[in-house]
């Protein structure tokens, strides 16, 4: 299957949000050696990926990492330093937004306030010259699929937040785009509405056949919708992978932090007995081929077992704080030398402050600590 969207060697600029003229855009698609236009700087470099029709690539990144800039560049709303954007085999790099076959859906849905819901949804087709009756019929089909057909005659100011999101999504899909770009579509929703809109996005992915690119800072949103996932890791977009594989084996410490489901244990990699071990205050772990030096082990709560220790020995730790989270218990532990570590565990919940414990870790991902600040 050929990709509906293919992006090759794209440099995404950060800065001025104003879209230049079509002529200026052509002038800005230049070799790597040219100077960035005034007010811009290179953000993401060498972005390369492809998305098949009916698939969704979720791009997970922290605030300010360039997620929206990436989508705006793909949509033709932001200047392009270099690279290529291909939609259904057609190079659209130098084309204006309306000729790309791409729809960009902002996180805050914008509906025409003077048009009823069914007219809003049909608008892309009527603009294209489709007879109004046919356009409205096709729009109503999308409203039905996204379970908001009961508000088709309402005006936008009568809609709830979740309804507005689903109506905006129906309008985007009624335009029959080859590519649908979703900019944090669930960011402003409360949990119940969020679940409904996630379900709508899944239905849209299955029914539309469009290639979808969703950017978000929320792992749950990405997992709910995506077939593949990439991370923005220090201004680089990681190679798309299946979500489960990316979570199981993040490519770097920064990526693990971005995923946000790991406890971090600081320690030191040392060479001993012909191999490398990671030493921390609660014991040792395999360190693979890492060079000796400061390191961080990332572990998930179900991989951590904390048991009460009746005897005091070198690996015994003392619980100094306990916090109950939604599904886990978060424990702060210290050793006799004053070293501390905080771990989440889904296991023994009967432990409390003052208990001596030993910690067993079934699996850890150990990364060199380069001293980069957390984002």
What is the C-alpha to C-alpha distance for residues 45 and 299, in angstroms, rounded to an integer?
A: 30
Q: Which has the closest alpha carbon to 314: 273, 286, 279?
A: 279
Q: Measure the N-to-C terminal CA separation of the chain; round to a whole number of Å.
A: 38
Per-residue pLDDT at 87? 96
Work out the percent of the chain whose per-residue pLDDT is above 70.
90
Q: Which tokens go with 246?
A: 């990316």
The answer, as to whether pTM is greater than 0.85, is: no
Indicate whether 280 pLDDT > 60. Answer: yes
Mean pLDDT of all residues belonging to the chain = 86
Cα torsion 342, 224, 70, 233: sign: positive
Spatial neighbors of 351 by CB under 8 A, at least 6 apart, are 306, 308, 319, 322, 329, 331, 357
Q: Is the pLDDT of residue 47 over 90?
A: yes
**Which tokens in the block code for residue 235?**
């201004």
Once rounded to an integer, what is the mean pLDDT over residues 86-105? 93
Kindly tell me if the per-residue pLDDT of 170 is higher than 60: yes
108 CA to centre of own chain: 17
Taking the CA atoms of 311, 315, 321 and 322 in sequence, report the sign of the dihedral they define: negative
Q: What is the pLDDT of residue 268?
A: 94
Which tokens hold the place of 345?
């565990």
CA distance 326 to 257: 19
Sign of CA dihedral 324, 325, 327, 328: negative
Token pair listed for 127: 């603009």
Most confident option among 1-5, 113-117, 158-162, 258-262? 113-117
More confident residue, 315 or 150: 150
Residue with tokens 């299946």: 242
Residue 191: pLDDT band with limits 50, 70, 90: confident
Sequence-distant (≥ 6) Cβ neighbours of residue 35 within 8 angstroms: none
The pLDDT, as a whole number, for residue 1 is 55
CB 63 within 8 A of CB 76: no
Contact 216, 58 (CB under 8 A): yes
Residue 228: strand pairing partners: 57
CA torsion 70-72-74-80 (nearest 10°) is -80
Q: Give the torsion through C-alpha atoms of 12, 14, 19, 25, to 10 deg.
A: -40
The predicted pLDDT at position 348 comes to 66
280 DSSP β-pair partners? 283
Lowest pLDDT segment from 3-7, 41-45, 181-185, 290-294: 41-45
Please give the average per-residue pLDDT across 332-355, as a whole number. 87
Under DSSP, is residue 89 helix (H, G, I), strand (E, B) or coil?
Answer: coil
As beta bridge partners, residue 366 has: 297
Query: pLDDT band at residue 45, thresholds of 50, 70 and 90?
Result: confident
Q: Note the pLDDT of residue 24.
A: 40
In order of 43, 47, 85, 264, 302, the CA distances from 10 in angstroms are: 11, 5, 8, 33, 39
More reliable by pLDDT, 155 or 18: 155
Kindly state the tokens that stand for 58.
Answer: 């979720």
pLDDT at residue 23, rounded to an integer: 40
For the ranges 75-84, 299-308, 350-359, which has the lowest average pLDDT?
75-84
**Which of residues 218 and 35 earns the better pLDDT score?**
218
Tens digit of pLDDT for each residue in 239-249? 999 998 988 88
The residues with which 282 forms a beta bridge, in sequence order, are none
Strands across the sheet containing 179-183: 102-105, 179-183, 211-216, 56-60, 228-231
Residue 215 Ramachandran class (φ > 0 left, ψ -120 to 50 alpha, else beta):
beta
pLDDT band at 80 (very low <50, low <70, confident <90, very high): confident
Q: Is the pLDDT of residue 38 over 60?
A: no
Position 275 pLDDT exceeds 90: no
């Amino acid at each position: 299957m050929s990709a509906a969207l293919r992006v090759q060697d794209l440099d995404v600029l950060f800065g001025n949000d104003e879209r230049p003229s079509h002529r200026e855009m052509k002038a800005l698609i230049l070799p790597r050696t040219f100077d960035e236009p005034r007010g811009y700087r290179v953000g993401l470099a060498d972005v390369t990926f492809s998305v098949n029709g009916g698939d969704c690539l979720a791009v997970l990144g922290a605030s300010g990492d360039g997620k929206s800039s990436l989508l705006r560049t793909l949509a033709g709303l932001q200047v392009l330093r270099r690279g290529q954007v291909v939609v259904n085999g057609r190079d659209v790099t130098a084309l204006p937004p309306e000729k790309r076959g791409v729809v960009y859906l902002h996180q805050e849905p914008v509906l025409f306030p003077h048009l009823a819901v069914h007219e809003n949804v049909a608008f892309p087709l009527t603009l294209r010259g489709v007879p109004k009756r046919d356009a409205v019929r096709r729009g109503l089909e999308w409203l039905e699929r996204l379970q908001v057909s009961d508000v088709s005659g309402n005006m936008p100011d009568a809609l709830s937040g979740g309804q507005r999101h689903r109506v905006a999504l129906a309008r985007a899909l009624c335009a029959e785009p080859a590519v649908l770009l979703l900019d944090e579509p669930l960011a402003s929703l409360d949990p119940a509405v969020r679940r409904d809109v996630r379900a709508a996005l899944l239905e849209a992915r299955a029914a539309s056949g469009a290639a979808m690119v969703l950017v978000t800072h929320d792992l749950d949103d990405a997992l709910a919708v995506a077939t593949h996932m990439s991370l923005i890791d220090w201004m680089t977009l990681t190679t798309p992978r299946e979500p489960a594989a990316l979570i199981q084996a993040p490519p770097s410490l920064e990526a693990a932090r971005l995923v946000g489901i790991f406890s971090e244990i600081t320690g030191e990699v040392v060479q001993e007995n012909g191999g490398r071990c990671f030493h921390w205050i609660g014991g040792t772990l395999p360190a693979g081929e890492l060079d000796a030096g400061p390191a961080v082990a990332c572990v998930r709560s179900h991989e951590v077992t904390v048991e009460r220790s009746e005897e005091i020995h070198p690996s015994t730790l003392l619980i100094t704080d306990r916090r109950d989270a939604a599904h886990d218990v978060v424990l702060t532990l210290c050793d006799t030398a004053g070293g501390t570590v905080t771990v989440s565990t889904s296991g023994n919940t009967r432990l409390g402050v003052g208990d001596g414990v030993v910690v067993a870790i079934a699996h850890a991902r150990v990364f060199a600590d380069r001293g980069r600040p957390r984002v």
